[in-house]
Amino acid sequence: MFSPQCINFINTCLTKEDKQRPKYNKLLEDPFIKRYEMENVDVATYVCSIHDDILKLSPSPSTCEQPLS
């Protein structure tokens, strides 16, 4: 589902030891970020499509209406 470059970037961002985790300026140089830096991406449309897919897979609201404890 996700490209190897995406997985690598996320894993790098999630490095537990902060001393080993790259700083923001280094992360911005990652090939995954550079690849999409110049590409025109419609984020709103993408988020809406994901939201619609989630709603299709979610149980009906009536099954989720339980008070939070």
Question: Is residue 10 in some structural domain?
Answer: yes
Question: Is residue 69 in some structural domain?
Answer: no
Q: What pLDDT, in 10s, does the model give residues 11-54?
A: 999 999 999 999 999 999 999 999 888 888 788 888 898 888 88
Question: Is residue 21 in some structural domain?
Answer: yes
Question: Is residue 63 in some structural domain?
Answer: no
Total number of domains in the chain: 1
Amino acid at 56: K
Question: Is residue 13 in some structural domain?
Answer: yes
> According to the model, what pLDDT value does residue 59 have?
72
Lookup: tokens for 67: 């008070």
Report how far residue 29's alpha carbon sits from residue 4's, in angstroms, rounded to the nearest whole number. 17
Question: Is residue 20 in some structural domain?
Answer: yes
> According to the model, what pLDDT value does residue 62 have?
52
Nearest to 3 by CA among 29, 36, 25: 36
Any idea which residue has 């995406």 for tokens? 6
Structural domain of residue 17, as residue ranges?
4-56
